């Protein structure tokens, strides 16, 4: 990597880390269940990623949406839970040796992940406004993540811009088994169109997350060629590849046994060669993977 570029390490996947630690964890609440019932586990998980070398702590707010915690619960305590998620992330960030970690406020999809056909802009705006209000006092930037379409990302960016904080946008990619086409969002839109749209709307970085590591390189390369001065990042998941089809898997996905910290580091080196300067992990990528990135990428 060029000496003029600084590498930023993100944390890893919160939901599976909470599950590994024995925290309350199930669908549909996912990582939000621990935030509701046992927030001490959330703090411990954040600290584990900070101790592994993460420069960025991502708030545990991915599951704080009505389709995961229920409409009634979201209406009654959604803002309170977002405040709790922000406070826990900020507390963990202070424990980083040398200087506090950056806190990224997770703004998730407002409909089930990977389902761009279900997106409704007006409803999404209402949901995201609650999350932004609760998280804003604690965060340094917004991480608009796992976005399946350009429209979804631009709606979230509009809400995020109600604050003075910078925003990063992260897209999830088509990664079905046997895929050979150029990198595309889950909507089928091109990476180049997505990069153009979000940078025109004021995003400070574009990332790719919650997809197989094998498809990330093509997206990073496309983004870096299209916007060579832009910040580009990756945080892949460790899910077992799912068969091609229109409907995403409805259960808790199995994790790959072959995606060791060493192999994930090898992927990360490829992404950096292609232009990525922000690297971390999504579902199934734990503190041991982040530690391998810290040691291997900064050696």
Please report the sign of the dihedral spanned by the C-alpha atoms of residue 77, residue 81, residue 83, residue 84: positive
CA distance 224 to 205: 11
- Of 135, 59, 114, the residue nearest 237 (C-alpha): 114
Which run of H or E residues covers position 143?
strand 141-147
- Of 105, 97, 93, the residue nearest 47 (C-alpha): 93
Contact 222, 257 (CB under 8 A): no
The pLDDT value given to residue 241: 78
Cis check: omega of the bond before 28, within 30 degrees of 0: yes
What count of residues does the chain have?
299
Which run of H or E residues covers position 157?
helix 150-160
The pLDDT value given to residue 180: 74
Q: Is the whole model's pTM more than 0.85, yes or no?
A: yes
The pLDDT value given to residue 242: 66
Return the structure tokens found at 224.
């870096």
- Which residues fall within 8 angstroms of residue 85, CB to CB, at 6 or more apart? 35, 42, 59, 60, 61, 64, 106, 134, 135
Query: 217 φ, ψ to 5°?
Result: -60, -45
- Which residues fall within 8 angstroms of residue 107, CB to CB, at 6 or more apart? 61, 128, 131, 132, 142, 143, 144, 145, 156, 159, 160
Return the structure tokens found at 104.
């990224």
CA distance 89 to 155: 25
The pLDDT value given to residue 253: 80
- Of 101, 67, 60, 110, the residue nearest 82 (C-alpha): 60
- Which positions of the chain have pLDDT values less than 50? 1-3
Long-range contacts (CB closer than 8 Å, 24 or more residues apart) made by 96-102: 96/50, 96/55, 101/50, 101/54, 101/55, 101/56, 101/57, 102/8, 102/55, 102/56, 102/57, 102/140, 102/141
The pLDDT value given to residue 185: 98
CATH number corresponding to 8-297: 3.20.20.330
């Amino acid at each position: 990597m060029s000496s003029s570029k600084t590498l930023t390490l993100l944390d890893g996947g919160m939901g599976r880390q909470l599950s590994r630690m024995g925290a309350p964890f199930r669908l549909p609440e996912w990582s939000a269940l621990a935030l509701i019932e046992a927030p001490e586990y959330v703090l411990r998980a954040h600290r584990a990623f900070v101790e592994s070398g993460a420069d960025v702590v991502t708030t545990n707010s991915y599951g704080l949406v009505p389709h995961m915690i229920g409409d009634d619960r979201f209406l009654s305590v959604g803002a309170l839970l977002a405040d709790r998620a922000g406070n826990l992330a900020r507390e963990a960030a202070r424990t980083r040796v040398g200087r506090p970690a950056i806190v990224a406020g997770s703004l998730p999809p407002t409909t089930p992940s990977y389902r761009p056909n279900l997106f409704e802009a007006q409803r999404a705006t209402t949901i995201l406004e609650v999350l932004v209000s609760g998280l804003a006092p604690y965060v340094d930037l917004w991480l608009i993540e796992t976005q399946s379409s350009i429209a979804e990302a631009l709606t979230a960016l509009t809400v995020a811009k109600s604050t003075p904080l910078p925003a990063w946008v992260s897209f999830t990619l088509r990664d079905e088994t046997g895929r050979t086409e150029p990198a595309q969002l889950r909507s089928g839109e091109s990476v180049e169109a997505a990069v153009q749209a979000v940078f025109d709307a004021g995003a400070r970085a574009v990332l790719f997350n919650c997809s197989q590591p094998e498809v990330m390189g093509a997206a990073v390369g496309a983004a870096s060629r299209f916007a060579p001065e832009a910040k580009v990042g990756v945080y892949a998941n460790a899910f077992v590849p799912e068969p091609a089809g229109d409907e995403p898997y409805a259960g808790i996905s199995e994790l790959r046994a072959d995606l060791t910290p060493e192999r994930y580091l090898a992927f990360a080196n490829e992404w950096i060669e292609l232009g990525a300067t922000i690297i971390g992990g999504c579902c199934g990528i734990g503190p041991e993977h982040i530690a391998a990135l810290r040691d291997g990428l900064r050696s």
